[in-house]
Amino acid sequence: MIAKRGVGSAPVKGRRVLVRVDFNVPLDARGAVADDGRIVEAMPTLEHLRAAGARTILLSHLGRPGGHHDPALSLRPVARRLSTLLGQPVPVADDIVGIRAIDHCARLANGEFLMLENLRFNPGEEANDPAFAAQLSQLGELFVEEAFGTVHRAHASTVGVPRRLPSFAGLLVEREVRELSRLVDRPERPYAVLVGGAKVADKLPLLESFLGKADALLIGGALANPFLSAGGASLGATPVETGVGAAAAAFLERARGSGTTVVLPSDVLADRPGQAAPSAHAVGEIPADAVAQDIGPATIARFSAALAGTKTVFWNGPLGRAEEPRFAAGTREVLGALAGTPGYRVAAGGDSARIARDLGVAGVFQFISTGGGAALEFVQGAALPGLAVLPDA
């Protein structure tokens, strides 16, 4: 993957720099930031800009307000947390491209920060409206892309603005491209991919992209159910995604001649009515009233063995209902087994990063991407609009 021109070469002193950050963070019941991980990840770039004398204008979205102003999705709690991390105030413009935002931007001094309100309050953001992109661009003189989690979206702030201003990749985006490129360009073998989660319809292109590239593809969670069903296994009362049976069967047929070994669960941990504790059952022998909730002990052993000795591992998605402690063992134990393996281990971002932290296994990865969908599309080899628009190094 070609490197992008980085912020280190940007002439920022005394200039207004628009920085697209991904501060789409969870808020707690009081409206405060519940997890500041994404804010912390952007700090090296923000501290660089401050030290270099930039006048930094931050652009972000929060949640899905649908193009309307929603006070519950204001970026003010985010700005308060960022102010604490930076040790200086970060005011929030009441609007995005209106007169107050223009006035705030004009009064910025070197080393100061301003945050515009939630970009998605304006319908022009997600529509990549040229007029909205032009209004945003007029607020700054340079653009820095630091929101890797949004570069797979062709929105006004990720595509429209960098087309109008001299543009650079932030330090986080540079690292994302550098680290994820190791999975695309030169994965050291044996290369294993571990994928869980829910919907085959969403992840089938990802799974197909690994055929012929990875040595082993391990599939768990609800994602495995349609493949098991396509192979003729009865799953009891376990819900199986509808409308994907033929695609799952075709995938398994293609996999046979691809050089990639697909490993599916051989047993599950299931809930049964009237049974206090979950019980393990071999696939094909699941009782009619049982619902699979996690991979079983035999599958944990098989998956762990398949990962032993690998030189490259990519993981995305839980192998069961890992948010519930009773069904977290599969994900926790398989990922924990990676601690004893050599090589390079990467996790996709989003929910996977949170799960890894919650289960205490984040430390087994050399790199955890900040992007969920963006990371998945990147490793598929897709062209990401927000990266494609940036000049090459």
Beta partners for 19?
58, 144
| Residue 110 sits in the same domain as residue 211 | no
| Residue 269 sits in the same domain as residue 140 | no
| Residue 153 sits in the same domain as residue 227 | no
Lowest mean pLDDT among 117-121, 142-146, 169-173, 201-205: 201-205
Which of 145, 171, 197 is the last residue before a domain boundary? 171
In a domain, 145, yes or no: yes
In a domain, 1, yes or no: no
pLDDT computed for residue 301 by the predictor: 97
In a domain, 391, yes or no: no
| DSSP run (H or E) holding 207 | helix 200-210
pLDDT computed for residue 274 by the predictor: 86
The mean per-residue pLDDT over the stretch 298-319 comes to 95
For residue 238, give the CATH number of its domain: 3.40.50.1260
**Alpha-carbon distance 121 to 243, whole Å?**
35
Question: Which of the residues are catalytic?
Answer: 38, 199, 350, 373
pLDDT computed for residue 340 by the predictor: 75
What distance lies between CA 161 and its chain's CA centroid?
Answer: 23
| Residue 279 sits in the same domain as residue 343 | yes
| Residue 223 sits in the same domain as residue 154 | no
Domains held by the chain: number: 2
Encoding tokens for residue 132?
A: 């909205």
The mean per-residue pLDDT over the stretch 19-36 comes to 94
pLDDT computed for residue 47 by the predictor: 98
In a domain, 287, yes or no: yes
Write out pLDDT tens, residues 331-356: 999 999 998 778 999 999 777 888 99
Distances (CA, A) of 39 to 22, 162, 207, 335, 361: 8, 22, 31, 26, 21
Residue 392 has a CB neighbour count (10 Å cut-off) of 7
In a domain, 390, yes or no: no
Lowest mean pLDDT among 22-31, 134-143, 341-350: 341-350
pTM, two decimal places: 0.91
pLDDT computed for residue 341 by the predictor: 78
| Residue 68 sits in the same domain as residue 158 | yes
The mean per-residue pLDDT over the stretch 30-54 comes to 96
pLDDT computed for residue 349 by the predictor: 72
Average model confidence (pLDDT) across the chain: 95
| Residue 247 sits in the same domain as residue 276 | yes
| Residue 13 sits in the same domain as residue 160 | yes
Percent of the residues in the chain that have a pLDDT greater than 70, as a whole number: 100
The mean per-residue pLDDT over the stretch 205-232 comes to 96
pLDDT computed for residue 58 by the predictor: 98
The mean per-residue pLDDT over the stretch 209-224 comes to 96
pLDDT computed for residue 69 by the predictor: 95
| Residue 342 sits in the same domain as residue 200 | yes
Which of 136, 153, 171 is the last residue before a domain boundary? 171
In a domain, 241, yes or no: yes
| Three-state DSSP state, 52 | coil
C-alpha torsion angle, residues 265, 267, 272, 278 (rounded to 10) = -100
Which of 131, 150, 171 is the last residue before a domain boundary? 171
Residue 362 has pLDDT above 80, yes or no: yes
Residue 27 has pLDDT above 70, yes or no: yes
C-alpha torsion angle, residues 78, 81, 82, 88 (rounded to 10) = 130
Q: Which domain holds residue 131?
A: 7-171
| Residue 209 sits in the same domain as residue 101 | no
In a domain, 393, yes or no: no
pLDDT computed for residue 166 by the predictor: 98
If pLDDT is split at 50, 70 and 90, which confidence band does 194 have?
A: very high
In a domain, 122, yes or no: yes
| Residue 159 sits in the same domain as residue 16 | yes
| Residue 216 sits in the same domain as residue 338 | yes
pLDDT computed for residue 81 by the predictor: 98
pLDDT computed for residue 1 by the predictor: 65
